[in-house]
Each structure stands twice: as C-alpha cells, then as structure tokens.
Amino acid sequence: SCTLGLTYDTTPEQVEEAIGILKDIITERSDALEQEPTIWFDSFGDFSLNVKMVYYIKKEGHWAYSPNEVNLEILKRFNAAGLDFAFPTQTLLTPDVAAR
C-alpha cells in the first residue's frame, strides 16, 4: 500500500486522473493479483491531497522489487501527466516595510 500526496492546486479532475493512472499501473502488472487495487481520495492533509492505494502481488512477485517498479512507474506517469507531488511548505507573510 502507499499514500501519495498531491499539491493543493490539483483539480478534482486531476485527482480522478491520478486514481485512473494508479489503477492502470497495477492492473497492467503480471505479478499483481487479479483482485483490483483499492484506490481512493483519502484525505485533506496538512500539505497535500492524499490518495491511498492498496494492492496485492502474487507469491511469485518479489516483495521489494515489485513496489520499487510500481513506484518508479507512478513517478514516470504522474510526471508525464503534470501531476505534482506535495511536500511540506510554509508561507510567511511579512509586513510591507515600504508602506510605513
């Protein structure tokens, strides 16, 4: 499973697109179980819109290599779709010194 944080300027349509991309990535894998992955818009986080994904791999799949390959594919496809990952940020508002 994994949680992906998208930036707050992500539109609802882009969240839906992200969910579709994640579903495609897992269903295209030969080591994924036939059970569809469970993917949903999980929460409004402090710094991100959180999408949660749970998927299962077959016993023949490697416990470390499979997630590595999935994560790399997520990065590639999200970058290609213009979907941005969020990271902790802070906006500091300072008084306008010139106005004094």
pLDDT tens for each residue of 6-21: 999 999 999 999 999 9
**Which residues does 77 contact at the CB level (< 8 Å), separation at least 6?**
21, 24, 25
Predicted TM-score of the model (pTM)? 0.86
Per 3-state DSSP, the chain is made up of helix, strand and coil in percentages (nearest 5) of 35, 20, 45
Q: Which residues pair with 54 in a beta bridge?
A: 38
Provide the sign of the torsion angle of the four alpha carbons 27, 35, 60, 69, taken in this order.
Answer: positive
CATH assignment of the domain containing 24:
3.30.70.100
User: What total number of domains does the chain contain?
Assistant: 1
Amino acid 58: pLDDT: 87
pLDDT by residue (tens digit) across 39-89? 999 999 999 999 999 999 888 777 778 899 999 999 999 999 999 999 998
Domain that holds residue 48: 2-99
Greatest alpha-carbon span in the chain: 69
Residue 50: which H helix or E strand, with range?
strand 49-54
Confidence of residue 98 (pLDDT cuts 50, 70, 90): low
